[in-house]
Amino acid sequence: MAISTGYLLRETGGNLKRNLLMTVAAVLTMAVSLSALGAVLVMRQAINKASVQWRGGVELAIFLHPKVSPTETSAIDHELAGSPGVKKFHFVDKTQAYQEFKEIFGNNNDIVSVLTPADMPPSFRVVPSNAADIAQLGKEFSNQPGVLKVSYAQQEIATLLQQFSRWRTLGVGLAIGVLVGAVALIVNTIQLAIFARRREVSVMKLVGATNWFIRVPFMLEGFVHGMAGAVVAFFLTYGLRNWIASFLPDQTILGTNQLFVTPHEAILTGVVLLVVGGLVGVLGSAFAIRRYLAV
């Protein structure tokens, strides 16, 4: 039995109107759950941006003073080239450092516009021959003329991950707990709708209606619940993305404490939320109606 679009929209719309309060409650609960999940994903994106300086196996970063002299830079370069503990290294000049800075902070004008390439500290990024020797290698260069700071990947990333772990546990726990409530509300709403029409469903079964003909309008209703909650969560996550990211500790040499997530990255997070919301709504409604089809 074919399902017409008009029938599908009419039945779904009628169910939503009949259970308006339950629908609103399910949407809001879904929105809270998916917002918590979105916050965790945003923090993960911020961490990926904050660790940009450690790509390519870099374990040690020797940051130089912004006004370091060419002689001091050459001396450090020469010493690194002759050190048996250095597997490879490369120099990041002011222009490259500024590009990194913009990548980490998402081209946010409030921060990026007040600094120029001249303000950036150039650096040497070092891959050690043996990771166990990294601390000793760092000590050799920490007091060199022109050196501003020596940073270690393991320490920097561990600090980020430790802070993220706490927020992730809280966010995932909240998301799961509230998501269970959202699914329960969706299931209850669908069951109320189909219970009110149980005699009609029985008649439809007796005249040859397939399970899918009966099931699809209710599944679409659950899909609407999930997607509406996901849309609310998307706008909340998108609008608050930088505030969420600011809960993570900063790991840049410039000392600012505001990490950022770009609009494009936030949109990708929103797509994930929409997919999750739609699936939860459809699967929850499918679960709710299964026993009413055994007529």
Distance CA 128, CA 126 (A): 6
How far apart, in Å, are the Cα atoms of 39 and each of 50, 129, 232? 16, 38, 13
- Note the pLDDT of residue 74: 93
Beta bridge mates, 123:
63, 92
Distance of CA 30 to the CA centre of its chain: 17
The angle at the Cα of 124, spanning 259 to 252, to the nearest 5 degrees, equals 15
Beta bridge mates, 152:
60
User: What is the helix (H) or strand (E) element at residue 102, kind and residue range?
Assistant: helix 94-104
The CATH number of the structural domain formed by 54-152 is 3.30.70.3040
Q: Show the low-confidence residues of the chain (pLDDT under 50).
A: 1, 295
Distance CA 61, CA 69 (A): 18
Domain boundaries, the chain: 5-51+158-293, 54-152
249-271 burial code (b ≥16 CB/10 A, e <16): ebbbbeeeebbbbbeebbeebbe
Dump pLDDT digits (tens) for 154-165.
Answer: 666 666 666 677
DSSP, res 295: -
- Counting other chains too, the contacts that 88-96 makes at CB distance below 8 Å and 24 or more residues apart are 88/126, 88/127, 89/124, 89/125, 89/126, 89/127, 90/124, 90/125, 91/122, 91/123, 91/124, 91/125, 92/122, 92/123, 92/124, 92/125, 93/122, 94/66, 94/118, 94/120, 94/122
Two tokens, residue 120: 């950036």
Beta bridge mates, 127:
88
Two tokens, residue 85: 């503990």
Q: Record the pTM.
A: 0.64
